Amino acid sequence: MNRTREPVKWYAAVLLICAGSLSELPCGAQQLSPRFYWPSPRGTKVAVTGYSHASGDVLMDPSIPIYGADSRINTVFFAHMQNFSLLGRTANFLVELPYSWGITKGTVINTMAERKLSGFNDMGITLAVNLLGAPSMDLAGFRQLRNSPRVLLGTSIKVQLPTGQYMTDRLINVGGNRWAFKPELGALIPLFQKFLIEFELGAWFFTKDKDYIPGTRKQQPILSGEIHLVKRFRPGLWASLEGNYFWGGRQQIGENRLGDLQRNSKIGGTVAVPFGRRHSFKVGYSIGVVTAYGTDFNQFLATYTLLLNKL
């Protein structure tokens, strides 16, 4: 009986570990991504689809002259992740493509206005590599790591390509019409057999948006930090509490430098549940607790993950 059940558990564990890195949707620095630097066995391939509903001051830019903004934005996304060995270390390559629709309402020059949104967001590509604690491993090595967790250190680079829908005659768009880059360093520290704590430090860098209606838009980097407390119940079943803080992002529109320095924070929680040999489901919810300029929104996120190969 144990021989038939254990493979199911380990497939589920691998699946949920991979799904943990697919939490970031197109609201940039404010996202919470638990278990991003926990490794998976060499050769793992997963497909993910998900849905997000965000309400509040969503997709708003402080440079846009809209006041009392209220948005309801829905997003579905599709992603593929491939694990491989890079110079003997565990590495992951991730591609994400989101599609959003919804409505934004607000006041523009003392007049009520609204904008309906529908279109593809900017495509995201991420490369993550373990630096300490997780050399490239097979399933047996992965089991050993899971039974005896150790300190892990990893790094990643995420690139958002300007592929999303962008209308040059509109203030509010789904796509950003600029490249964005986020290098990051992450650490995972076991507290007890079933508890882990994670830290992530990174920064978003942006190129210019030369087609922005009021004038060319430039934006300074946004520094971000995250912390996650993860409780593992059994292979593949886990829950986390998390929070973040990010700072920066002051903009210049044409020759006008804005006083829109962001100092914002969010908190949230995530639960992941496996079912069957190759399937998993994850739900999360986050709220804004501190917002000094920038997007202030609550977000519900649900994802389904499918393991594509046998290990």
Predicted confidence band of residue 27 (pLDDT cuts 50, 70, 90): very low
Structure tokens at 201: 């430090």
What spatial distance separates the first Cα and last Cα of the chain, rounded to whole Å? 21
> What is the pLDDT confidence band of residue 146, given thresholds at 50, 70 and 90?
confident
Query: What is the rounded distance in angstroms from the CA atom of residue 90 to the CA atom of residue 127?
Result: 11
| pLDDT tens-digit map of 1-20 | 333 344 445 454 555 455 44
Residue 2 has what pLDDT? 38
Q: How far apart are CA 76 and CA 80, in angstroms?
A: 14
3-state SS class at 51: strand
Two structure tokens written together for 206: 């942006």
Collect all residues with Cβ–Cβ distance below 8 Å to 248 and sequence separation of at least 6: 203, 220, 221, 222, 223, 261, 262
pLDDT of residue 181: 95
Q: Is the pLDDT of residue 49 over 70?
A: yes
Rg, Å, the chain Cα set: 20
Sign of CA dihedral 91, 96, 236, 10: negative
In this structure, the number of other CB atoms found within 10 A of the CB of residue 283 comes to: 14
Share of the chain above pLDDT 90, in %: 53
CA distance 32 to 200: 10
Q: Which two tokens stand for residue 286?
A: 């986050």
Tabulate helix, strand, coil % of the chain (nearest 5): 10, 55, 35
pLDDT over 50 at 243, yes or no: yes
Give yes or no for a contact between 95 and 88, defined as CB atoms under 8 angstroms apart: no
Give the pLDDT of residue 31: 63
Residue 90 corresponds to which amino acid?
A: T
Handedness of CA 54, 188, 279, 85 (dihedral sign): positive
Cα 175–chain centre separation: 16
Residues 265-278: what's their mean pLDDT? 90
> Which helix (H) or strand (E) element contains residue 8?
helix 2-19
Q: What pLDDT does 8 receive?
A: 43
Residues 255, 207: Cα–Cα separation, whole Å: 16
Question: Phi and psi for 260 in degrees, rounded to 5?
Answer: -115, 40
Res. 296 pLDDT band, cuts 50 70 90: low
Residue 75 buriedness (CB in 10 A; 0-12 / 13-18 / 19+): buried
209 vs 105: CA distance, rounded Å: 24
pTM of the prediction? 0.86
pLDDT for 300 beyond 80:
yes
Stronger pLDDT, 304 or 192, i.e. the higher one: 304
- 180-195 average pLDDT score: 93
192 compared with 161, residue with greater pLDDT: 161
| pLDDT for residue 138 is more than 90 | yes
Confidence at 80, pLDDT banded by 50, 70, 90: very high
**Tokens, residue 136:** 């490239």
**Domain 2-307 carries which CATH code?**
2.40.128.130
Residue reference for tokens 């920064």: 203
Q: Which amino acid belongs to residue 202?
A: G
Q: What is the DSSP letter of 28?
A: G
Between CA 72 and CA 148 the distance in angstroms is 44
Q: Which residues are within 8 A (CB) of 239 and not within 5 positions of it... i.e. 6 or more apart?
A: 230, 231, 233, 269, 270, 271, 272
Q: Which of 75-79, 110-114, 148-152, 187-191 has the lowest mean pLDDT?
A: 110-114
